[in-house]
Structure 1
Amino acid sequence: MLDYDEFQRQISFNSSIRKAEKKLLYIKGKGSDYMRLCRCQKIKQVKVEADISADPLWCGRCFANLDMNDFPLPPELKKELQAWIADYGQWIDWENDGIVKGGALMEEQHNMRGVVLAGRVKLTLEDQYDVVFAPAIFSRRIIKNAL
């Protein structure tokens, strides 16, 4: 089991690697330039999903994390997505690999907020991408395994 400091170091390290990979895998697209981790010829589906230390947009085909700044999203929506990402995992009891009291409800509220944000992303990008939402399911897994 990782202690908190080691966990934070790993997040920082993974974030640095992700940024370096993005710089190496710069792909020039038709009409727009996108810096992305995925090597898909063309991104057709964008998945909105929260995860620790990651942007909320993912390639729907190869599941690579995409830089949301590479998409024409309004600044206010980007701020709301960043705040939503920052809230991810508040229902997780990291020390005991479980959920905190009321965690299932917290996760569900986070998912409801994500559905609204994904809808706004979909409206913004509708002519360019198929936008889907992937809910957080950590507490569901923990509860299911406990039964």
Structure 2
Amino acid sequence: MLCGCEHSIPASLKIEGDVGADPLWCANCGYNIDIADLPLSNNLVAALSSWNMTYGEWIDWNTDKLKEDGIQLEKQFNRAGEALTEKVRREIGHIYGITFVPSTSARLYSETS
């Protein structure tokens, strides 16, 4: 697993949802890490991937506006992400420092509405 850090190997990872990318990132340089490169169980990989596919469900992409229940949807997404982060810590926390970065995009969309 490579990243843009000095030794090309991340020392710590962050879990952060995004559109079109795996939810794992080098916490130092910001490179997106291929989820298949980590020693995670198949069930956890599937759960992380499924969770990440729900990123942005609080946004109406056709109008580029926050959905009516968008704040609540984002909170649910973040709670699920925190729970998955704990599972990642249990599986590989002895190898990497693991942090969770909650989504704050609903706030940005609500400010522009």
Alignment TM-score, normalising by the size of structure 2 = 0.91
- What SS does the corresponding residue of 1:101 show, helix, strand or coil? coil
CA distance in 2, matches of 1:79, 1:115: 16
Structure 2 residue ranges without an equivalent (≥5): none
Aligned to 1:127: 94
- What SS does the corresponding residue of 1:79 show, helix, strand or coil? helix
AA in 2 matched with 1:77: L
- Segments of 4+ moved more than 4 angstroms: none
Is residue 2:67 matched to residue 1:105? no
Largest Rg, 1 or 2: 1
Aligned to 1:39: 4
Aligned length: 111
Is residue 2:56 matched to residue 1:56? no
Kindly indicate whether structure 1 or structure 2 has the higher relative contact order, using CA contacts under 8 Å at least 6 residues apart: 2
Aligned to 2:84: 117
Is residue 2:46 matched to residue 1:79? yes
CA distance in 2, matches of 1:77, 1:137: 24
Is residue 2:22 matched to residue 1:69? no
Structure number having the greater helix percentage: 1
Aligned-pair identity (%): 34
- What SS does the corresponding residue of 1:112 show, helix, strand or coil? helix
Structure 1 residue ranges without an equivalent (≥5): 1-33
CA distance in 2, matches of 1:90, 1:142: 12
AA in 1 matched with 2:74: E
- How far did residue 49 of structure 1 move? 0.6
Alignment RMSD (CA, Å):
1.2
Aligned to 1:143: 110
